[in-house]
């Protein structure tokens, strides 16, 4: 309970990095000391950047090499000959690759759509409506968010098995049609919207669903984007649930497909790297476009 | 417009509507509220409460997915865990892994956040690139690190550049396999928590630092006597989320080492998977393991709250 109640609504939006937070001490420093300090400082930033980013650069470069060159010793940095056809080979050599891409996109889009609707609907009720057991339900939701997911895996698997939903897309729709972390995110957002608009609508005789659908949702764009982007990331990157609940070879997503390809062709490093680039590409595009919404993800990851 | 009497003073909607149209509105609101929240109630009852109860029930039975009859065995599944070598190994590996990863990733995340909070040029560039490891999927990260840890992969290439020539196969080594996975996870998770720390750092009132400037406190002292104490609630949150995540380590160990070599990277989560899908008739044990894991995580979260006193005194 205490953990999630600390997630503030402000956490949804990226910090704007306000200027001048740490006033630089203007004490004794001569020009030279200052300059040295700046060099040391930037060296540190650059080392960290290399540390966190170079593996990605090398992955992209490796995806254009021959498999022998990827693990050649001594190593090469740039490919000696560029092999863009590696990407074509991924599409043709990994059996069922188009189907995996479809599975990934389909499940991700459906789950995102379900969450946009249900997370905001439930979030709206918690934020604005008065109904019996509201506070109890909200407290339950917060408290159960910290239950480790592995506790639920076996029973959910057996339940889905008995309902004949294992190995079907419906498994994901049942398990992820809403996510408490994003209900919480929506609730906090709705609490920040002024009530005037709804009050006018009540007088106009618009029902509660009408108010939610026509007046509130259009205002909730930032929170909906955050929910959508974070759900996209979670579903696109999901591996565990596909391993547990999907069993037939046609029901693999791109992540699982990459793992089984690597299991079959351990030495095709260039194709493994090209496949990795393809698997990260959609989420990378979304990250670059919607960076600020990922802060909320920081607050909610690990709580599912 | 009787309703919008005080548009700026947010009165509870229920009160407003009751005042305006008597009980009718309140009843309509109650009905709408319950209806809207029904999806969550279903989610809670079926996927959480029933699933949790079912997990406990299964853990008290000898359970086989194919058997028609699953006899009650009481606490025997739990008792067996205390003498099960695999479980004890997995528990030790997982605990070792979690302790190291949680400490390192929290410290590294805090360092990254403090660096990003400083006044420097190119801050947005650094933030964007530093966060990238947290965007990629566990599978992609595992693939990248299979290449990094290859005997002639990125790590040994870089070591070669600084004069350390080795062709160590880290993931095939009982000494290095677990630390290798620890390192990978610190690398991916620290940037996630970096953003949480960064948001919290920006909430610290500037005046507090200004006061300490008058005192002439050094940067390091300011960090430990002002920043860290003020960040205690967020440190607790990061440590708790870290504990929850680290104790459930599955993907990377499953993909990169399958628990090997010689069970050096066998984790509780991997064991649960094996008991569910590989071994027959061990589903009850899988549930018992999951519940024990849940209890350990819960207990450690409570302890960490005690240790990281979350109250802030200005």
Q: Which residues in chain A (241-270) have CB-CB distances under 8 A to chain B?
A: 243-244, 255-256, 258-259, 262, 269
Confidence of residue A30 (pLDDT cuts 50, 70, 90): low
Burial of residue A27 (CB within 10 Å: 0-12, 13-18, 19+) is: exposed
Kindly list the residues from chain A whose CB atom is less than 8 angstroms away from the CB atom of residue B251.
239-240
Using CA coordinates, name the residue in chain A closest to B138: A237
Q: Rounded distance, CA A209 to CA B37, Å?
A: 12
What's this model's pTM, rounded to 2 decimal places? 0.85
Q: Which residues in chain B (35-94) have CB-CB distances under 8 A to chain A?
A: 36-37, 39-41, 43-44, 46-48, 50-52, 54-55, 58, 65
The per-residue pLDDT for B70 is 84
The per-residue pLDDT for B204 is 82
| Lookup: tokens for B35 | 């209806």
Distances in Å between the Cα of A294 and the Cα atoms of A93, A110, A232, A286 are 34, 20, 11, 10
The per-residue pLDDT for B313 is 54
Q: Which residues in chain A (163-202) have CB-CB distances under 8 A to chain B?
A: 174-175, 177-178, 180, 183, 194-196, 198-200, 202
Concatenated DSSP letters of A168-196: STHHHHHHHS--HHHHHHHHHHHHTS-SH
From B129, B131, B310, residue closest to A294, measured CB to CB: B131
Torsion from C-alpha of A203, A204, A206, A211, nearest 10 degrees: -70
C-beta atoms of B273 and A244 within 8 A:
yes
Kindly list the residues from chain B whose CB atom is less than 8 angstroms away from the CB atom of residue A301.
192, 241, 245
Q: Shortest Cα distance from B177 to chain A (angstroms)?
A: 18
Spatial contact of A137 and B37, defined as CB atoms under 8 Å apart: yes
C-beta atoms of B10 and A243 within 8 A:
no
Residue-wise pLDDT tens for chain B (314 aa)?
Answer: 333 333 344 444 444 444 444 567 788 889 999 999 999 999 999 999 999 999 999 999 998 888 778 888 889 999 998 999 999 999 999 999 999 999 999 999 999 999 998 888 888 889 889 999 999 999 999 999 999 999 988 999 999 888 888 888 999 999 999 999 999 999 999 999 998 898 888 888 877 777 776 666 777 888 888 888 888 889 999 999 999 999 999 999 999 999 889 999 999 999 999 999 988 888 999 999 999 999 999 999 989 888 887 666 55
Using CA coordinates, name the residue in chain A closest to B257: A263
Tell me what the mean pLDDT of segment A200-217 comes to. Answer: 83
Q: Shortest Cα distance from A42 to chain B (angstroms)?
A: 9
Confidence of residue A158 (pLDDT cuts 50, 70, 90): very high
From B7, B290, B305, residue closest to A196, measured CB to CB: B7
Report H helices in chain A: 2-5, 31-62, 67-70, 85-93, 97-128, 134-144, 150-162, 170-176, 180-191, 196-204, 208-210, 217-219, 221-236, 240-245, 254-264, 269-289, 294-300
Torsion from C-alpha of B55, B57, B62, B67, nearest 10 degrees: -80
Q: Rounded distance, CA A214 to CA A206, Å?
A: 9
- Averaged pLDDT score across all residues of chain A: 84
C-beta atoms of A159 and B128 within 8 A:
no
Q: Rounded distance, CA B263 to CA B286, Å?
A: 18
Answer whether A70 touches B (CB < 8 Å). Answer: yes
Domain boundaries, chain B: 3-59, 79-307
Report the top-level CATH class of B79-307: mainly alpha
Q: Rounded distance, CA A260 to CA A271, Å?
A: 13
Report H helices in B165-230: 177-201, 206-215, 219-222, 228-230
The per-residue pLDDT for B229 is 86
The per-residue pLDDT for A32 is 65
Between the ranges A106-120, A208-222, B78-92, B273-287, where is the mean pLDDT highest?
Answer: A106-120
Q: Rounded distance, CA A66 to CA A79, Å?
A: 8
From B13, B40, B120, residue closest to A141, measured CB to CB: B40
User: Is A21 a residue whose pLDDT tops 70?
Assistant: no
Beta-carbon contacts of residue A143 (< 8 Å; ≥ 6 apart) = A1
The per-residue pLDDT for A6 is 39
The per-residue pLDDT for A8 is 37
The per-residue pLDDT for B25 is 73
C-beta atoms of B7 and A199 within 8 A:
yes
- With a pLDDT cut of 90, the percent of chain A lying above it is 54
ipTM entry: 0.85
The per-residue pLDDT for B242 is 94
User: Is A247 a residue whose pLDDT tops 90?
Assistant: no
Using CA coordinates, name the residue in chain B closest to A289: B128
Size of the A and B interface in Cβ pairs below 8 Å: 345
The per-residue pLDDT for B91 is 95
Q: Rounded distance, CA B97 to CA B91, Å?
A: 10
From A22, A132, A159, residue closest to B209, measured CB to CB: A22
Using CA coordinates, name the residue in chain A closest to B218: A25
Q: Which residue has the higher pLDDT, A112 or A191?
A: A112
The per-residue pLDDT for B10 is 43
Q: Rounded distance, CA B111 to CA B104, Å?
A: 11
The per-residue pLDDT for A199 is 78
C-beta atoms of B3 and A158 within 8 A:
no
For each of the domains in chain A, give its residue range(s) and CATH number, in order of start: 24-90 (no CATH), 95-300 (1.10.3720.10)
The per-residue pLDDT for A74 is 80
Burial of residue B272 (CB within 10 Å: 0-12, 13-18, 19+) is: buried
Kindly list the residues from chain B whose CB atom is less than 8 angstroms away from the CB atom of residue A131.
29-34, 37
Closest by alpha carbon to B40, among A122, A128, A209, A171? A122
C-beta atoms of B294 and A147 within 8 A:
yes
Confidence of residue A3 (pLDDT cuts 50, 70, 90): very low
The per-residue pLDDT for A123 is 95
């Amino acid at each position: 309970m205490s953990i999630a109640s600390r997630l503030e609504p402000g956490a949804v939006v990226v910090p704007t990095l306000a200027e001048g937070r740490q006033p630089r001490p203007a004490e004794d420093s001569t020009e030279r000391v200052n300059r040295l300090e700046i060099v040391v400082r930037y060296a540190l930033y650059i080392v960290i950047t290399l540390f966190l980013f170079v593996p990605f650069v090398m992955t992209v470069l490796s995806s254009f090499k021959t498999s022998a060159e990827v693990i050649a010793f001594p190593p090469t940095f740039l490919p000696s000959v560029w092999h863009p056809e590696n990407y074509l080979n991924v599409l043709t050599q990994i059996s069922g690759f188009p189907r995996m891409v479809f599975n990934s996109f389909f499940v991700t889009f459906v789950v995102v759509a379900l969450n946009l609707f249900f997370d905001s609907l439930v979030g709206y009720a918690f934020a604005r409506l008065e109904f019996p057991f509201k506070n109890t339900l909200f407290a339950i939701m917060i408290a159960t968010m910290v239950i480790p997911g592995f506790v639920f895996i076996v029973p959910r698997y057996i339940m889905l098995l008995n309902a004949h939903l294992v190995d079907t897309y419906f498994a994901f729709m049942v398990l992820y049609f809403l996510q408490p972390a994003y209900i919480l995110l929506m609730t906090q957002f709705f609490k920040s919207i002024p009530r005037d608009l709804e009050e006018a609508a009540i007088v106009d005789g618009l029902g509660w669903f009408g108010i939610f659908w026509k007046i509130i949702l259009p205002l909730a764009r930032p929170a909906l984007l955050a929910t959508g982007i974070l759900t996209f990331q979670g579903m696109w990157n999901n591996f565990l649930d596909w391993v547990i609940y999907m069993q037939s070879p046609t029901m693999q997503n791109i992540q699982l497909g990459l793992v089984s390809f690597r299991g079959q062709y351990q030495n095709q490093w260039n194709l493994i790297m090209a496949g990795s680039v393809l698997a990260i590409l959609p989420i990378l595009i979304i990250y670059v476009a919607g960076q600020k919404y990922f802060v909320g993800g920081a607050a909610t990851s690990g709580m599912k | 417009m009787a309703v919008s009497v005080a548009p700026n003073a947010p009165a509870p909607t229920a009160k407003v509507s009751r005042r305006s149209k008597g009980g009718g509105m309140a009843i309509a609101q109650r009905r709408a509220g319950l209806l809207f929240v029904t999806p969550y109630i279903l989610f809670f009852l079926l996927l959480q409460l029933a699933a949790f109860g079912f997990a406990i029930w299964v853990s008290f039975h000898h359970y086989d997915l194919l058997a028609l009859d699953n006899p009650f065995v009481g606490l025997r599944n739990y008792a067996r865990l205390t003498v099960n070598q695999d479980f004890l190994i997995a528990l030790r590996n997982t605990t070792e892994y979690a302790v190291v990863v949680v400490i390192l990733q929290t410290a590294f995340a805090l360092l990254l956040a403090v660096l990003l909070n400083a006044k420097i040029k190119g801050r947005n560039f650094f933030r964007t690139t530093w966060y990238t490891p947290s965007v990629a999927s566990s599978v992609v990260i595992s693939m990248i690190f299979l290449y990094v840890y290859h005997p002639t992969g990125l790590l040994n290439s870089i070591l070669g550049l600084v004069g350390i020539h080795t062709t160590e196969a880290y993931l095939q080594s009982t000494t290095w396999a677990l630390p290798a996975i620890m390192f990978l996870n610190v690398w991916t998770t620290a940037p996630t928590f970096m953003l949480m720390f960064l948001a919290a750092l920006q909430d610290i009132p500037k005046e507090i630092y200004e006061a300490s400037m008058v005192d002439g406190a050094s940067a390091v002292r300011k960090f430990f006597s002002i920043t860290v104490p003020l960040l205690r609630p967020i440190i607790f949150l990061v440590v708790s989320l870290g504990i929850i995540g680290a104790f459930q380590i599955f993907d990377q160990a499953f993909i990169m080492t399958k628990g090997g070599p010689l069970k050096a990277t066998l984790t509780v989560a991997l064991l649960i998977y094996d008991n569910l899908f590989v071994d027959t008739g061990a589903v009850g044990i899988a549930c018992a393991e999951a519940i024990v894991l849940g209890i350990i995580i819960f207990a450690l979260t409570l302890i960490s709250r005690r240790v990281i006193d979350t109250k802030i005194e200005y």
